[in-house]
Amino acid sequence: MYSIKDVERLSGIKAHTIRIWEKRYGLVEPRRSSTNIRYYTNEELKKILNVTLLNKFGIKISKIAGLSADELRQKVLDLANDRSEEEVQIESLVISMIDLDKMRFERILNNCVLRLGFENTVVKVLYPFFKKVGILWQVGAINPAQEHFISNLVRQKIIVAIDGQSRALKPDSKKFLLFLPEGELHEIGLLFYSYLIQKAGHDAVYLGQSVPMADAVSVNAGDPADFILTSSLSLASTEDYQRLLSNVRDHFPDPTIVLINEVANATDLSIDDKTLVNLSLEAFKALL
């Protein structure tokens, strides 16, 4: 159940415009709760997302209103295949996720990789897509099954890309130890950084999700890393990030620490000059 404000936030279309679409063209028919509050269902949300996408790329609402559900879906598929704009691909991926449509999701993603290359697909399509997934999660528009479905598909793509890299290290290669703190499960970003590290000819030791600090220390003891990479999407405040970085530094006193999150008020973190926070992707690639 989505309020009109939820739909406005997800689609980018003003509530006033959505009401006009309803009254003038009958595009959707909102329900009413027991307290007479209008709400929209999953199917209506998907339709509005599809309509919004077609309208953004020049198809008039009056023409869209005359399309059947199958015709509307086909138009969006055609647009995703024909147009190169990242926005089209992102919206199409969202609809594929809501429908749990694996074949469509993979077709869109593969087309992006062919056209943009793998790195640009991650940065220009998947990063914004996952930001939108975050909004969908916030308003309850997707359930855990949908989020896990899509995350695992993307995870598989990144692992395949990692496997395709040469294992030869460059002469001045550095060693990177990558792990998520205990309780942290969102690893897509960290996996992508592992791909970048190995592509640049460095050694990446990837420990994965929810790693106890003592275990990470144990792995690092024999052949210490030059860099420690970590991330957390569950932390809510600068103070939480401060505690995380202090904990990592206490256990790893020598390596450079890289926190790959975008942290608000990062300048307030009292950290040493070997702890890098809010390092842009381009700056990280320059470091490599």
> All domains of the chain, ordered by start, with CATH?
42-162 (1.10.1240.10), 167-287 (3.40.50.280)
Amino acid 183 reads G
Indicate the DSSP class of residue 174. -
- Count the Cβ atoms, other than its own, within 10 Å of residue 272: 10
> From CA 248, how far away is CA 256, in angstroms rounded?
10
pTM: 0.73
Distance of CA 136 to the CA centre of its chain: 12
Q: How far is CA 221 from CA 38, 192, 241, in A?
A: 60, 25, 25
3-state secondary structure of 57: coil
> How are the residues of the chain apportioned to helix, strand and coil, as percentages rounded to the nearest 5?
60, 10, 30
Per-residue pLDDT of the chain (288 residues; tens, 9 = 90+): 788 888 887 777 888 888 888 888 888 888 888 888 888 887 888 788 888 878 877 788 888 888 888 888 788 767 765 655 777 888 888 888 888 889 989 998 998 898 889 999 999 999 888 887 876 665 566 778 888 898 999 999 999 999 988 788 999 999 999 999 998 888 999 999 999 999 999 999 999 999 999 999 999 998 999 999 999 887 767 788 888 999 999 999 999 999 988 776 777 787 888 999 988 889 999 999
